[in-house]
């Protein structure tokens, strides 16, 4: 399937998480890492030791940092869909793709990216409200409770046994 050389072409091969984090901090600094990755371990009293402790315990955050390392710091082209499903350390980087100079990142670009992500999340939420069965059920149940309130308010003038009493 894949040769050992193809596995070794991944820039994460043979590098520890501590090396990855140290390189990122030396090149970008804590502020840019916090802005782009949105991890609290980079925002509040950041340190290599504390961040490593968090990243080792939290697999999704470790994958996020390693992906940032591959695609921003090493400036590799995005992985195809099949490879993107794998963790960054397990991805195969084709032999013709070599790491490039790190991308120049700024806090202004990070803010634009944050706004763009927030807009995309809002759109996803809006689409989900109309397509999600649970939300339809919830909205229906709230309408029922409103109808019950209206009926109970009108119940003073309505007597279900009125016809029975006349006979």
* pLDDT one digit per residue (tens) for the chain, 167 residues: 567 776 777 788 889 999 999 999 999 999 999 999 999 999 988 999 999 999 999 999 999 999 999 999 998 888 888 888 889 888 888 888 888 899 899 899 999 989 998 999 899 888 877 665 555 555 555 555 555 555 555 555 677 676 666 65
Q: What is the largest CA-CA distance in the chain?
A: 95
Nearest to 99 by CA among 66, 73, 74, 79: 74
**Taking the model in full, what pTM does it have?**
0.70
In 3-state terms, the chain is what percent helix, strand and coil (to 5)? Answer: 70, 0, 30
Fold of domain 4-105: 1.10.720
Q: Is the distance from CB of 127 to CB of 39 less than 8 angstroms? A: no
Q: What are the boundaries of each domain within the chain?
A: 4-105, 106-146
Angle at 25 between CA 23 and CA 30, to 5 degrees: 165
């Amino acid at each position: 399937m894949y040769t050992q050389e193809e596995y070794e072409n991944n820039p994460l091969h043979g590098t520890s998480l501590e090396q990855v984090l140290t390189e990122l901090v030396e090149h970008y600094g804590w502020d840019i890492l916090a802005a782009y990755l949105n991890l609290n371990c980079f925002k509040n009293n950041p340190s290599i030791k504390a961040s490593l402790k968090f990243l080792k315990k939290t697999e999704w955050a470790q994958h996020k940092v390693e992906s940032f390392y591959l695609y921003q710091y090493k400036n590799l082209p995005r992985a195809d869909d099949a490879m993107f499903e794998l963790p960054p350390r397990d991805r195969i980087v084709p032999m013709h793709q070599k790491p490039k100079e790190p991308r120049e990142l700024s806090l202004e670009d990070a803010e634009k990216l944050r706004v763009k992500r927030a807009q995309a999340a809002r759109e996803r939420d809006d689409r989900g409200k109309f397509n999600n069965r649970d939300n339809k059920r919830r909205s229906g149940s709230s309408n029922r409770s409103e109808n019950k309130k209206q009926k109970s308010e009108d119940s003073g003038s309505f007597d279900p046994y009125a016809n029975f009493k006349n006979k």
